Amino acid sequence: MTFRAETTLAGYAGAAVDMKTRMHEYCASIDGSEYTRAFVETNWAGLAPTHGDDEAAAHHRLTDVINRASSTVWAQGEAYVLAPAMTAIVAAAAEALDLTGDLLTADAAPTDTGVLYLPEPIYHRALTGQVSGIAAITWATITSPRGRSWLICGWAHRDDPDDPHAARIQDYARQDPTLLSRLGPYVLTNLDLLPIARPVPAVAQPDIDEPDRDWESAPDGRYVIADATARTSVCAAIAYAFWRIQAQPISVAAPAPLDRPARRRAARAHVVHDTRVVMLRRTSTLTEPADGHTRWHYRVRFVVRGHWRRLIDKHGRAYRIWIHAHLKGPDDAPLLHGEKVAVLAR
């Protein structure tokens, strides 16, 4: 059961619970642990040891933290499905986000643990040029000697026919026919830490002197966020953008009904089965107030780009809201077009 063929709330709920059940079982298995260990060893070569341990012990400890957090979040985390119409909004907000130096409170996330499904994935281009789809994001709070943080994981769908990462898995499977049987429906591709009540560090951009690197292409019409231009780690940016936007009037989180057999299967697997589908709220065109005088009067309409706005709550704490791209000006005024020229050069 996948999200590709689903278009109803009930269909989304059924797919969400099915995926949660399968991923909980996978993350708690030996195969899941071995994949996480290989992921850590590949991506954290040279991990600084602590407590006098060697690098292997540091890898083992990080693997254990990821496995326990992932198994818990897939079982107990609340599930959200991002409706396809919301994907471009969240992606644009994530790409424009810069959390450097911000102090995030523990209530920035809607829940301590959660799963966000993206039936229409957002694609991530790494510094190496490789592209991977982000079809699900999980978050969980963890505690370390440095304090509390959100552990945010990005997952690609193993069988997505449009995802270059899934194509690479299929290539490996031709060499090792047992590979697919040792993977879950989602595979871990990204790992970020977002500190709580500590300044968010700047993203380190290593110098890679490869001007002739071959860049993979993402599927046509899909949103791609590149590490080379991101000011906040990509999965952390998507998660934070979703947290903020799902709490704004621009969106509505609709509870999705689940049939009785699916509820029973979830109960037997000890999996939380509540699912909410986050959709774009229907809005009406804003008009000028009937009384009083307007401060400004526009004679043309023009496009306002999407952007983050900083605000202060009643407790004096700073927070952000996303202002979605919109047209400004009277409905009957001419539309002012900007001109943009893109130059492709090698």
Mean pLDDT to the nearest integer, 219-228: 87
Rg (CA), the chain: 22
d(CA 152, CA 233): 10
Q: What is the pTM of this model?
A: 0.83
Nearest to 37 by CA among 78, 70, 74: 70
Across 154-168, 201-215, 322-336, which has the greatest mean pLDDT?
154-168
| Neighbour-count burial of 253, counting CB atoms closer than 10 A to its CB (0-12 exposed, 13-18 middle, 19+ buried) | middle
**Structure confidence at residue 286 (pLDDT):** 38
**Structure confidence at residue 62 (pLDDT):** 86
Per-residue confidence band for 298, with pLDDT thresholds at 50, 70 and 90:
very low
| Angle at the Cα of 250 from the Cα atoms of 114 and 243, rounded to 5 degrees | 25
pLDDT tens for each residue of 140-175: 999 888 889 999 999 999 999 999 999 999 999 999
Mean pLDDT to the nearest integer, 59-63: 84
Mean pLDDT to the nearest integer, 223-228: 91
**Structure confidence at residue 79 (pLDDT):** 95
- Answer with the residue of higher pLDDT: 226 or 289: 226
Which CA distances in Å does 248 have to 63, 80, 236, 252, 253? Answer: 36, 15, 19, 8, 10
Per-residue confidence band for 59, with pLDDT thresholds at 50, 70 and 90:
confident
Which CA distances in Å does 176 have to 63, 170, 181? Answer: 24, 10, 10
> DSSP E strands: which ranges in 145-202?
147-157, 186-195
**Structure confidence at residue 216 (pLDDT):** 79
Q: Which of 152-161, 287-296, 326-335 has the lowest mean pLDDT?
A: 287-296
Q: Are 318 and 310 in contact (CB under 8 A)?
A: yes
3 state DSSP class of 75: helix
- Residue 236 DSSP label: H
d(CA 7, CA 137): 20
